[in-house]
Amino acid sequence: MDHAFWHSRWQNQQIGFHLDQANPLLVSHFHHLALTAGQCIFVPLCGKSLDIPWLLDQGLQVVGIELSPLAVKALFQELALTPEVEEMGAITCYRAGPLTVFNGDFFALSQTQLKQAQVGQIDAAYDRAALVALPADMRPRYSQHLTALTAHAKQLLVSFDYDQSLQAGPPFSVDSQAVQQLYGKDFKLSLLADVPLAGGLKGKCPAQEQVWLLQALS
């Protein structure tokens, strides 16, 4: 994960990945997670996504991790929340009511810091823009760390499938085979949707947007 690249994107407001509404695929397929009010959902590389207030509106405890301090501060400001801030080594924790966001490197976040922030059981994860933001050589480490952090919690995953030779990432193409290789040993994978991305990827090449439900193997 090139920290300088992502810090630069936020510093220069090059955040085309940031939607101006909750992701319609989340809204359409959220029910597959079968969560109830008060349960906890983990959102990796969350930015200041409007998915977060939507999830809060469902009565959930939301826990995120984000590299950019600009994104984290903007998120709480836009939600009109004043967080308590606690330094936890290489990670800074921002907490306000049902929202907890860790600022720092995803790979530096540990179960110890989750406990220190009084994060209880994580009931689900939602990955819209994390896995697809990472190059192929980083994805196995990412998927393993996410699985460990969330204790094999069920997951709603949004990915892209397109001809990588036509367009450089991020977001990168993570096709069905790649999802199977990353998660198939630990989870039952169900493809919930496979739809054309309106206008193509960045308007340059056709792409499919896929929604996966991952459920831990018993």
* Tens digit of each residue's pLDDT (9 = 90 or more) over 174-215: 999 999 999 999 999 999 999 999 889 888 899 999 999 999
pLDDT of residue 3 exceeding 80:
no
Helix (H, G, I), strand (E, B) or coil at 188: strand
Which pLDDT score, from 0 to 100, does residue 21 have? 81
Is 66 annotated among the ligand-binding residues?
yes
| Residues 182, 167 contacting (CB under 8 angstroms) | no
> Packing angle between helix 139-149 and helix 176-183, nearest 10 degrees?
50
**Mean pLDDT of all residues in the chain?**
92
Q: Hey, what CATH topology would domain 27-216 get?
A: Rossmann fold (3.40.50)
Q: What are the pLDDT digits (tens) for 38-60?
A: 999 999 999 999 999 999 999 99
Task: Decide: 129 and 190 in contact? Cβ < 8 Å.
Answer: no
pLDDT at 10 over 50: no
Q: Could you identify the residue written with the tokens 């949004």?
A: 158
Query: pTM score, two decimals?
Result: 0.92
Q: Give the span between the Cα atoms of 45 and 68, in whole angstroms.
A: 9
- Residue 139 known to bind ligand: no
% of the chain at pLDDT higher than 70: 91
> How far apart (Å, rounded) are the C-alpha atoms in residues 172 and 213?
19
- Whole-angstrom distance, CA of residue 213 vs CA of residue 108: 26
